[in-house]
Structure 1
Amino acid sequence: MKKALLLLLLAVVAAVAQTQDYPNLIRKTRQYLSVFPENNSERLALAWYFMQNAQPDSALARYQEAFLFDPASADAASGSLWALNSLNRYSKSVSRSKTLIHAFPENPDIFNHRGLALLQTYEPLQARASYLTAQKLTAPNSESHTIAADGLAWSYLNSGDLANAQSIIKNSTMPLSAAPWLEKPRPAVSAGFGYKQNGDTYWLVGASLRLRTYSAALGFEEYRLARQHFRTAYSLDLGKQFTPLDLKLGAKAFSGADAGSYPAWQGSASIAGKAYIFSLRFSPLLLFHYTYAPVFSAAQADLGFKISTDRLNLLLMYSGLYRDYLSVGTDQTARVFSGIADLRLYRFLRLSFSASHGDMAWWTNPYGVTLDTMYPNTTNLGLGLSIPLGKGFGLSLFSQLGLIDDTSNHLLQGVLSYAP
């Protein structure tokens, strides 16, 4: 997936490379430049020949020489980025392109090369902004326009916005390398274990499938108090992405030892908007949960806002709850404030901080976990670490400190996931 866009950049010239004697062209051009070193166009041609002859290190040196000879040469500037990307020196390419996009703001090739380097350094939102600029600077149906469209689709895919990626692919007049990835079904499975300081434990199992802009997920939870069964939960979530917003519907079924609370059923719906400004993504959130149990029902409405960068995701949410009990005069209202800060440390290694405060009885948190009255903390503070293990495996670790009155409780959780 990471190399697909680079292969598209090289595919255009591959056929030409097969019909040209580039070693001979390199030899003749070198001889010419030894006599006429002031001919910068021939120096650029030599750099091009080196690129076609799979010698990007030699090409980079020539492009740099050409740029020193003529700092106004856009071909030398974009060529140096092309060579750096071919050498997998993406961080250097990103750094170099920062000055070049200001020196050559009308050159689409520079923005295309910068977009590829940003994708390879795990910054898809910045890559999106770069490819979008390149697309605006190119004529429809041109080679540079197609490269920009493909890069734009990959940028959306890498940031999880499959609907906008699909829109780019459908509107392109040329085939894009991102299309096969989007069309392939993406299954995933997970299993986890949690432990609370008083000896209570729980198990988590999940499976999901994503196909184009559709998603489905199944979940199973088993909670045990003092080694005895307390609660079992089954969940089903269905999702559909659109270009301006994402929709999700969910259902849960609970059974448990508390006859007043179980069996219980819950339905949920959520809408998440999407708006992009430069390399930022803004997502207003609206969620609703309704839980029905033997002696009460609970309605929850959430209003949230999420801002995302390539390095940090920040979510803030307000939840209003109404618990309607059978007994007259016992209804309750509650509110909960919550937030999550998710920081990318390196590549796919992420660290998260979470906090929530309020009356959390029968509150469904931003992770989708429904709390009952067994642990009615007034404050939860969480720390999570997401670790990529390679070959599709990942490990998520989570620790939580719960506070209520003058007491505290601790929770430790680990989830192993696999997405082939």
Structure 2
Amino acid sequence: MKAFAAVDVIRAKRDGGVLSDEQIRWVIDAYTRGDVAEEQMSALAMAVFLRGMDARETATWTGAMIDSGSRLSLRVDRPTVDKHSTGGVGDKITLPLAPLVATCGAAVPQLSGRGLGHTGGTLDKLESIPGWRAALSVDEITAQLNSVGAVICAATSGLAPADRKLYALRDVTGTVESVPLIASSIMSKKIAEGASGLVLDVKTGSGAFMKSPEQALELARTLVSIGSAHEVATTALLTDMSTPLGAAVGNAVEVAEAVEVLQGGGPADVVELTVALAREMLALAGLSADPAAVLASGEAYETWCRMIAAQGGDPSAALPRPAHVHVVEAGSSGYLSRLDAYAVGVAAWRLGAGRARREDPVQHAAGVRCLVKPGEPVVQGQPLLELHTDTADAVGGALEALTGAVEVADSAPSSGTLVLRRVSDAQ
């Protein structure tokens, strides 16, 4: 590989230039090996943040991060399809979605992460199930995909090591909010996982990373473009995250709600989004099953039980219960007109459901239960929220986070749309 001077690559992007494929591949490889210093990569990340990258640069950057490590070689008899969410509040969709799509005939290798800040992590939620383990070898992942059809586990250490280094660097250099860097981070890991199809849930609203629909659409289009460039069939749904998904926000409470959905019940919005994403995944896998009917039948719950048991968990075990429950009541009568997703997410985090640093522990029983959804009538004194925690002193901080997050109006607000738009490579 031809060598470059790091400062020349930095200057080129700083001055608004377009980096060549050779420059990008060299700088990612050299940074991964430690030959490009952290301060130099910080400068390049800021230059990308300010100047951007075009579609070709972004695809090449993603490919270089994939090539910094290994790719999973999944020896599976079924078509493989994966899903990724950009993160939200009460977003437990992976939990019912993976076994549902597996029940419909696909293999779902769902390599997931942990929560940080106000957005929850799938692995943290599942670890509230007694005995369940997140760390699996490649052989264990492959065996479970062939026997059960779905696996939700931690990413193996060899996938996209350049992304792990760059992600940590972006977090401390003010360069997180860059669409090319966000998109390449997501897609480098997902493409390295080896699935032939990928569906993206790109969220927008107060509880999402992308606050405006315009930002979310730009990210969705970039993600789909990268997938197409790397020959991975990719579609994206833009979905609303101004209000928490479902009634449960936290860890064990979200697992319990996911089980309700898998048994044919659960909140309507969680069911709607689960089915919408399942339809997209099955279309990419070339399967014609009706996910709505399969979900309503409860058959996917049987797959869930096998999936949890295969990873050492007891699907019939009681989930952790909080030591303290604080009820937030309606201050007036009328209709709930607003329940801010970000505020509820921060409240759950402060109650112990999330972490401020990656090494922090989480409380499995902590979280928030939303007893009323926007548009529903309330009377003064009616319970609106339950705050769950094992740390009584955490309630004050959670209540502070919820200041102004709940509004009651004289008339019901117009019902919003959950799935806002679909993006594919044809658009």
Q: Provide TM-score, normalisation by structure 1.
A: 0.29
Larger relative contact order (C-alpha < 8 A, sep ≥ 6)? Answer: 2
Kindly name which structure, 1 or 2, has the bigger radius of gyration based on alpha carbons: 1
More helix by share: 2
